[in-house]
A and B are shown apart, each in its own frame.
Chain A
Amino acid sequence: MIGVSGLSVTYGAVQALRDVSFDAEPGKITAVLGANGAGKTTLLRTISGLVKPRAGVVTLEGKTLTGTHAEDIVRRGVGHVPEGRGVIGEFSVEENLRLGSLVTHHGRSARREALERQYTLFPVLGERRRQAAATLSGGERQMLAMARALVAQPRVLLLDEPSLGLAPLVTADLMHTISDLCAASGLTVILVEQNAKSALRIADHAVVLYVGRVVANDRADVVAGDERLRQYYLGLVE
């Protein structure tokens, strides 16, 4: 479980997060929703250690993560799939996955097995394992970015706008995959999305941010059913 409490982040004079608190339960998908500039990406970057908060703490199963370097937080079991996917385009699919598997400190054969598991989960990656990641389609790149995080066998998966730039059908597929993964492995998922509609469809819990503040923190169906939230913060007007 990930616990976020009293988190505040500033970039110079700009306050990106103000006193943000919520919990993300294991085996559940917590959606973090909000408009552009609401602080969603900053929140994930703070959890994974790329950004240092001015105040507040992030805990993983009760132990503090705040103050730990990003390269050690991933070793504690937090996988972050960054905005724009962050696949290394010059690397082949396989090299991207190999890079992701290095933190496990398993032997060569165990890492190989972990790679093969990803190829089973995402068969298209297996077909393209020798291809440069830059040549993949947007959906394939998103799968690669997720597989690369999963190959390290994380307990928590942070997904930043996985649907960005994807066709609706591809997005629907992707959301299914995320939902299946979460149910099957007890993974804690924090899903940042601008696409509130598709995120709420699979999420168990939803946190809505508005200029750095939490304006709603409830069950996903409650948030989805709240007319005021839908209209003012999520832009879901029928």
Chain B
Amino acid sequence: MDAFLTSRIVSDILGGLTNGVIYALVALSLVLIWRSTRILNFAQGAMAMLAAYVGFAVLAPSTNYWVSMAVAIVAGVALGALTERTVVRLLYGKPEINPVVAMVGFLLVLESVAAAIWSTTSRSLPTPFSIIDWQLAGRPVAMSPFALYEVVTAVVVMVVVALVFQYTSVGLQLRAAALNPEVSRLLGVRVTRMLTLGWMLASGVGAVTAVLVASNYFTGLTPTTMDGVFAFGFIAAAVGGLDSPVGALVAGVLLGVVFQFVGDFINSNAIILVALGLLIVSLMVRPSGLFTRRTERRV
């Protein structure tokens, strides 16, 4: 393999990884909500976008990036709680189509509200690190300090979520409430509180994602910033398995890399086609997702 092709492949992998962790984060918040409430949160990208606006537009542009990030996370968490308590609570136990329609409607409402308040003009967010690619032996390596920051942040978020779920009492109760609400109640778990908490956690993850996406120089922050990312994150969640956080993460990163290769070696217009093709094939071959464990049911 010649040096040019090698560097092209390495670039695609690194670039794909950077995009992929974003899809993985979107997929992770979808999975968190699906597992606990069996609702596909189509408004998740819009909720995250709104949180990012609160962090970066409500505060003066002069504010520190990290303060704005923290405010966005708090706003995301609060919006998650508010949404669960008001909109989502009405949807529990309803026919499956109701949450779909309601959440798509909520998405449109949030995007319209954001457009009405902040207009649809793209706003550029400050970047905490340089977006200029590093050079190796005089050649750029498709990885900038900012891209590395994105990857590291995503990994930190995933690890924190995993630790909370696996090793804390709250995580144990969150999982129990999702798996068997009635038995959980008998053991003293406050299930309704856990559902709210699940939405808060997922929306917090969403807010971080939106800030990362919007601080990318090319996108900026608009009311529809998250639409494309959400679509790919959604496909990642469906391919990886809506019940499997690990599946969502792996599928997100893989999709990022695959899309990068498709864009580089075929045509960037083909990415959507490939994405939808992958979704259709995976739904036909393994509708429950590649990583969902089939649990044996014994009576």
A80 to B184, CA, bound (A): 11
Q: Let me know if B6 is at the binding interface, CB within 8 A.
A: no
B183 lies within 8 A of A82 (CB): yes
A50 lies within 8 A of B188 (CB): no
A82 lies within 8 A of B188 (CB): no
Residue of B nearest to A90 (CB): B179
Chain A residues numbered 37-80 whose CB sits less than 8 Å from any CB in chain B: 48, 50, 69-72, 74-75, 80
Listed stretches A93-101, A191-199, A205-213; interface member:
A93-101
B296 lies within 8 A of A134 (CB): yes
A82 to B187, CA, bound (A): 11
Chain B residues with CB under 8 A of A95: 172
**Given the contacts A88-B180, A134-B295, A71 and B185 also touching, CB distance less than 8 Å:** yes
For A95-112 the 0/1 string (1 means CB < 8 A from B) is 100111011000000000
B188 lies within 8 A of A75 (CB): yes
Q: Let me know if B100 is at the binding interface, CB within 8 A.
A: no
Chain B residues with CB under 8 A of A134: 295-296, 298
Chain A residues with CB under 8 A of B188: 71-72, 74-75, 102-103, 152
A102 lies within 8 A of B180 (CB): no
Q: Let me know if B86 is at the binding interface, CB within 8 A.
A: no
Q: Let me know if B189 is at the binding interface, CB within 8 A.
A: yes
Q: Let me know if A123 is at the binding interface, CB within 8 A.
A: no
Q: Let me know if B19 is at the binding interface, CB within 8 A.
A: no
Q: Let me know if B89 is at the binding interface, CB within 8 A.
A: no
Which of A69, A90, A100 has a CB less than 8 Å from the CB of B187? A100
B186 lies within 8 A of A102 (CB): no
Which DSSP category, helix, strand, loop or mixed, fits chain B's interface? helix
Residue of A nearest to B189 (CB): A71
Chain B residues with CB under 8 A of A186: none
Residue of A nearest to B191 (CB): A71
**Given the contacts A88-B176, A89-B295, A90-B295, A99 and B182 also touching, CB distance less than 8 Å:** no
Chain B residues with CB under 8 A of A82: 182-183, 186
Report the contact-size class of chain A (Cβ under 8 Å from the partner): 20 to 34
A70 to B188, CA, bound (A): 7
A72 to B189, CA, bound (A): 9
A74 lies within 8 A of B187 (CB): yes
Chain A residues with CB under 8 A of B182: 50, 82, 86
Which of A74, A89, A90 has a CB less than 8 Å from the CB of B186? A74
Chain A residues numbered 131-181 whose CB sits less than 8 Å from any CB in chain B: 134, 148, 152
Q: Let me know if A91 is at the binding interface, CB within 8 A.
A: yes
Chain A residues with CB under 8 A of B190: 71
Chain A residues with CB under 8 A of B184: 99
A102 lies within 8 A of B179 (CB): no
Chain B residues with CB under 8 A of A69: 185
A197 to B188, CA, bound (A): 33
Looking at the assembled complex, report how far the CB atom of B100 sits from the nearest CB atom of chain A, in whole angstroms. 27
Q: Let me know if B121 is at the binding interface, CB within 8 A.
A: no
**Given the contacts A88-B179, A88-B180, A90-B179, A99 and B187 also touching, CB distance less than 8 Å:** yes
Chain A residues with CB under 8 A of B203: none
Chain A residues with CB under 8 A of B169: 98, 102
**Given the contacts A86-B180, A88-B179, A90-B295, A48 and B186 also touching, CB distance less than 8 Å:** yes
Chain A residues with CB under 8 A of B187: 74, 99-100, 102-103, 148, 152
Chain A residues with CB under 8 A of B186: 48, 50, 70, 74, 80, 82, 86
Residue of A nearest to B169 (CB): A102
Chain B residues with CB under 8 A of A71: 185, 188-191
For B170-205 the 0/1 string (1 means CB < 8 A from A) is 001101100110111111111100000000000000
Interchain Cβ contacts under 8 Å between A and B, 7 examples: A50-B185, A50-B186, A71-B188, A82-B182, A88-B183, A99-B173, A102-B173
The 9 A-B residue pairs with the shortest CB-CB distance, nearest first, are A103-B188, A86-B183, A70-B185, A74-B188, A80-B186, A71-B185, A71-B188, A99-B176, A100-B187
Interface of A toward B, CB cutoff 8 Å? 48, 50, 69-72, 74-75, 80, 82, 86, 88-91, 95, 98-100, 102-103, 134, 148, 152
8 more A-B contacts (CB under 8 A) besides A86-B180, A102-B169, A152-B187?
A: A48-B186, A71-B191, A86-B182, A88-B180, A89-B295, A98-B169, A102-B187, A134-B296
